[in-house]
Amino acid sequence: MNNIMLVGRLARDIDVKKLDSGKEVAKITLAVNRSFKNTEGIYETDFIDCILWDGLAINMNEYCKKGDLVGVRGRLQISSYEKDDVQYKVLEVVAEKVSFLSSVKKEDQEES
């Protein structure tokens, strides 16, 4: 079983891209706080990349901005690529469901 659930804040604004195939994709980064302190007494934060496709990407772009708290349910995926004859692997979360936990529609904030 490959399931992951995360709750965190958007580390940056969302940028949706349209691919040649017509699909839309967005890559977000969630800042997820750890539930324990390190040896110096500080709560550390993990920055986790997530991929959103089509409707999820469009809705996140319309309703969320940097700093908003969101929940993401999805699956882990390993992608690989080669650069300068070196093979790299990237671990990402492919989002299947997103919950908006503390967002305000972008247009509403711009009017304020």
CATH number at residue 27: 2.40.50.140
Q: Around 32, how many Cα atoms within 13 Å sit in the side-chain half-sphere?
A: 17
In a domain, 108, yes or no: no
In a domain, 111, yes or no: no
In a domain, 59, yes or no: yes
Instruction: Say what the pTM is.
Output: 0.79
Q: Please state the φ and ψ torsions of residue 2, each to the nearest 5 degrees.
A: -125, 90
Domain holding 17, by residue range, is 4-101
In a domain, 112, yes or no: no
Q: How many independent structural domains does the chain possess?
A: 1
pLDDT mean by block of 10 residues, the chain; 112 residues = 96 93 95 93 94 94 92 95 94 94 62 52
Between CA 57 and CA 39 the distance in angstroms is 38
